[in-house]
Amino acid sequence: MTRWTRICALTDIPSLGSRVVESTGEGRIAVFRSSADQVFALHDRCPHKAGPLSQGIVHGTTVTCPLHGWKIRFEDGQVVAPDVGCAKPYPVKVEGGDVFLQI
């Protein structure tokens, strides 16, 4: 069973930045915040060579992996062509200024 867990306040995540959540079952999850204050969560492992996506540069709703520059889309975790691959996305929402993650 999955449930919503509060992880932090929205303001704890820098705009165009991220925070790392460590969960017992799923391992590390990167939670990103866009410049429009949307939040997204992806498994913190690049499909290329497991780079920590949380450490990449965020632009639009995409992150560029810090290790070799693959670009991963937040909405579905798909890698931007011509590279291929997918990082697992997780449901995440903002309510009353707090960020909730479903795991």
Partner 1 sequence: MRKLKLVMVGNGMAGVRTLEELRKIAPDMYDITVFGAEPHPNYNRILLSPVLAGEMTIQDIILNDLQWYADNGITLHLGARVTEIDRRNRSVIATDRKGGTITVDYDRLLMATGSTPFMPPFPGRDLPGVISYRDIKDTDEMIAAAATFPHAVVIGAGLLGLEAANGLALRGMKVTVVHNSEWIMERQLDRTAGKMLQAELEKKGMRFRMNAQTAELVAGASGRVAAVKFKDGDAIPADLVCVAAGIRPNVELAEKAGIHCNRGIVVNDTLQTYDPRIYAVGECANHRGTAYGLVAPLFEQAKVCANHLAEMGISRYQGSVTSTKLKVTGIDVFSAGDFSGSDGAEDIVLHDPGLGIYKRIVLKDDKLVGAVLYGDTKDGAWYFQLLKDEQDISDIRDHLVFGNAHLGDVGHKGGNVAAGMPDSAEICGCNGVCKGTIVKAIQEHGLFSLEDVRRHTKASSSCGSCTGLVEQILASTVGGAYQPADSNNRAVCGCTELSHGEVRRAIREHKLLSVAEAQRHLGWRTPNGCATCRPALNYYCLSTWPHEATDDPQSRFINERAHANIQKDGTYSVVPRMWGGLTTPGELRAIADAAEKYKIPTVKVTGGQRIDLLGARKEDLPGIWSDLARAGLVSGHAYGKSLRTVKTCVGAEHCRFGTQRAMELGVKLEKMLYGMWSPHKVKLAVSGCPRNCAESGIKDVGVIGVDSGYEIYIGGNGGIKTEVAQFFAKAKDDDEVMAYSGAFIQLYREEGFYLERTCHYLERVGMEHVRQRVLEDADSRRALYERLLFALQDYTDPWAEICEDPSGGPRKREFEIIKVQEREI
What residue ranges bind partner 1 (CB under 8 A)?
A: 1, 3, 5, 7-8, 11-12, 14-17, 19-26, 28, 35-36, 49-52, 55-60, 64, 66-69, 82, 101, 103
Q: How long, in residues, is the chain? A: 103
Q: d(Cα 79, Cα 47) in Å, to the nearest integer?
A: 8
Selected from 13, 46, 92, 101, the binder of ligand FES by CB under 6 A is 46
Least separation, in Å, of the C-beta of 54 and ligand FES?
A: 12
